[in-house]
Chains A and B, each alone.
Chain A
Amino acid sequence: GAVVSQHPSRVICKSGTSVKIECRSLDFQATTMFWYRQFPKQSLMLMATSNEGSKATYEQGVEKDKFLINHASLTLSTLTVTSAHPEDSSFYICSATGVLAGVTNEQFFGPGTRLTVL
């Protein structure tokens, strides 16, 4: 099956700093990547949809200047949390869909990144 990795798996940073999270599709070309946020014991909330080579589409209520998404290649998308604050602490998960998924739109999920802002 398709494999999606995320790096780092865990990050702790000080308030006001920026943090970059990488999402990679290891064995397929990801034409579309999705970024989710998951609060403890809650569901996944879609933040944005990222298509390779174009600007990300953000969901309502998600600040695009706060959460910068770049999808520069078919195997890599990055999420940068700018000027992070404690309320940004969360579990961030990416998923990818693409050629390997064939005619279906199956999303393959990364393991997630736990961000803690002090």
Chain B
Amino acid sequence: AQRVTQPEKLLSVFKGAPVELKCNYSYSGSPELFWYVQYSRQRLQLLLRHISRESIKGFTADLNKGETSFHLKKPFAQEEDSAMYYCALSGSYNTDKLIFGTGTRLQVFP
């Protein structure tokens, strides 16, 4: 079955602390993995995807096929990182649907 699991509903940290948002997936084949972010009162937007291997806003995520994980990390959290983060997977075709995890709310306290 195709599934994305985000075990934490809420993650609270202080500014400057490291952050790791966990994501595990189940997929038969070679999926593409994404992290989407939704800031308060804003639309969902792509944060990063595993194939680009980019670091966006200080966030990185490495695809670990052995552990079927795609955890999102940032060494030093900022208050403006507070948002809802969704991990998602898709097949490799342009029209493939996204399967979302349940999301993790990140709260960064000053």
A binds B: yes
Evaluate contact between A109 and B101: CB separation under 8 angstroms: no
Q: Within B27-68, which residues are at the interface with A (CB < 8 Å)?
A: 32, 42-46, 49, 51
Interface residues of A, count at CB 8 A = 22
**A44 / chain B contacts, CB cutoff of 8 Å:** 44, 86, 100
Chain B interface secondary structure, helix, strand, loop or mixed?
Answer: loop
Evaluate contact between A105 and B95: CB separation under 8 angstroms: yes
Evaluate contact between B97 and A109: CB separation under 8 angstroms: no
**A93 / chain B contacts, CB cutoff of 8 Å:** 43-44
Query: Knowing A43-B102, A43-B103, A105-B32 touch, does A111 contact B94 (C-beta < 8 A)?
Result: no
Q: Interface code A16-47, partner B: CB below 8 Å = 1, 0 otherwise?
A: 00000000000000011010000000111010
- Bound together, the chains give a CA A104 to CA B90 distance in angstroms of 11
CB distance from A11 to the nearest CB of B (A): 17
Interface residues of B, count at CB 8 A = 22
Evaluate contact between B94 and A31: CB separation under 8 angstroms: yes
Q: When the two chains form the complex, which single residue of B45, B86, B92, B99 contacts A105, counting CB atoms closer than 8 Å?
A: B92
Q: When the two chains form the complex, which single residue of B49, B92, B95 contacts A32, counting CB atoms closer than 8 Å?
A: B95
- Bound together, the chains give a CA A53 to CA B96 distance in angstroms of 17
Evaluate contact between B95 and A43: CB separation under 8 angstroms: no
Q: When the two chains form the complex, which single residue of A31, A32, A101, A112 contacts B43, counting CB atoms closer than 8 Å?
A: A112
Q: Within A83-118, which residues are at the interface with B (CB < 8 Å)?
A: 93, 95, 97-98, 101, 104-107, 109-112
**B94 / chain A contacts, CB cutoff of 8 Å:** 31-32, 97-98, 101, 104-105
Does B98 lie at the interface of the complex (its beta carbon under 8 Å from any beta carbon of A)?
A: yes
CB distance from B83 to the nearest CB of A (A): 14
Evaluate contact between B49 and A104: CB separation under 8 angstroms: yes
Q: List 26 A-B contacts (CB under 8 A).
A: A31-B94, A32-B95, A42-B102, A42-B103, A43-B86, A43-B100, A43-B101, A43-B102, A43-B103, A44-B100, A46-B97, A46-B98, A93-B43, A95-B44, A95-B98, A101-B94, A105-B32, A105-B95, A106-B49, A107-B46, A107-B98, A109-B43, A109-B45, A111-B42, A111-B43, A112-B43
By a beta-carbon cutoff of 8 Å, the part of chain B in contact with chain A is 32, 42-46, 49, 51, 86, 90, 92-103
